[in-house]
Amino acid sequence: MLYRARAGGVRLTIETPEAVRWAGNAIEYLDQRSLPHETIVRRAVSAEQLEDAIRTLAVRGAPCIGVFGAYGVALLRSQIADDAKFQAAVARVRGARPTAVNLRWAVERVLNSKDMLAEAQAIHAEQREVDRRIAEAAAELIERDATIYTHCHTGSLATAGGGTALGTILFAARAGKRPHVFVGETRPLLQGARLTYYELSQAGVDATLVVDSAAAISMQRKEIDLVIVGADRIARNGDTANKVGTYGLAILAAHHRIPFYVAAPRSTFDFDLATGRDIPIEERSADEVAGFGETRSALPGANAYNPAFDVTPNHLITAFVTEYGILRPPYGESIPDLQMRPNMSALLSSR
């Protein structure tokens, strides 16, 4: 551990460290499990530690685990000369979480490059630019004084950049649009309560925390203008995997005729998958449902189904917000069109 600070129930005055940082012989990362009450920076120096950080959600959010995995591959290459051992170590990192396609995408991009560290650094730098473009693209969807519902956490710590869905909200706030945000707590690991509410309050944005099961009444009584969430994997037809609960929100939004937007970079689109049916859904331990941290709520050994993600069918999604602009239905045309666009590294190097 390098760094530790206690919030003690008051607003932190320190600058939050970066989500992920290359540190030469290690990768430093902010441990998202202990936020917002403690700020702890840790170091990963082995495949086992890289895998553990991703698996335990110390590093989380689809683009952020992509950046972390990219640096991880560069680190492992600098340590392991034997090719078979290196491939086995990389497989541990790539397989640490199955749903977010960004991890596989980033690992493969680094593996196929000539200079692995330079490629990982490029992925990290591009993510900042991608997030900025997503936020700009969403500006036309967010009116002044909008009331917005969001789920899970899609801010800077989830991307190692500026954030996707939450980035669009923070951008609107910086533009003086005064958004009000309903934040679903996001059972069972409370990314909404712990991270999104924290990031919004740090930025001085008006936020209201609700339990996930209050989403319906919030939409019925609180004049929600739009829902915006992130994504972990989007199939070629627009079916979208994101934090469990997203599918239910999309159904509720359709019932209440509220636009439902997904903000995600192109690296979250899996152009090889025709529909969401084949997206692998991570199932996590029953312990996460039966309690939180040290506190147990259910009987010891309680049986639980704990999918970390669900898949929202394409017809419930009003539009996608990407770094290439807004994609609307029919997704059978707009998503293949996205695939044909020049990639961000080409765009950045041509500037």
Considering beta carbons, is residue 39 or 164 the nearer one to ligand MRU?
164
The span of 151-159, 175-183, 247-255, 289-297 binding ligand MRU (CB under 6 A) equals 151-159
Helices (H), the chain: 47-55, 62-79, 83-94, 101-111, 116-138, 156-159, 165-174, 191, 197-202, 215-221, 246-255, 331-339, 344-349
Does 267 bind ligand MRU (CB under 6 A)? Our answer is no
The span of 35-43, 57-65, 112-120, 335-343 binding ligand MRU (CB under 6 A) equals 57-65
Q: Give the chain's count of helices (H) and strands (E).
A: 13, 17
Q: Find all residues with CB under 8 Å of 50, minimum gap 6, and list them.
A: 27, 44, 68, 69, 72, 75, 76, 92, 93, 96
Task: Please report how close the Cβ of residue 13 comes to ligand MRU at its closest, in angstroms.
Answer: 26
Active site residue 145: no
Does 63 bind ligand MRU (CB under 6 A)? Our answer is yes
Which of 191, 237, 240, 314 is in the footprint of ligand MRU by CB under 6 A?
Answer: 191
Task: Please report how close the Cβ of residue 284 comes to ligand MRU at its closest, in angstroms.
Answer: 9
Does 322 bind ligand MRU (CB under 6 A)? Our answer is no
Does 100 bind ligand MRU (CB under 6 A)? Our answer is yes
**Spatial contact of 3 and 32, defined as CB atoms under 8 Å apart:** no
Task: Please report how close the Cβ of residue 277 comes to ligand MRU at its closest, in angstroms.
Answer: 19
Long-range contacts at 298-307 (CB < 8 A, ≥ 24 apart): 306/188, 307/244, 307/281, 307/282, 307/283
- Residue of 31, 212, 232, 239 with catalytic role: 232
CA distance 192 to 183: 6
On the question of a cis peptide bond just before residue 36, with omega within 30 degrees of 0, the verdict is: yes
Q: State which residue has the least CB distance to ligand MRU.
A: 230
Binding residues among 166-185 for ligand MRU as defined by CB under 6 A? none
What are the residues binding ligand MRU (CB under 6 A)?
57, 60-63, 100, 152, 154, 158-159, 164, 191, 230-232, 242-243, 308
Active-site amino acid positions: 232
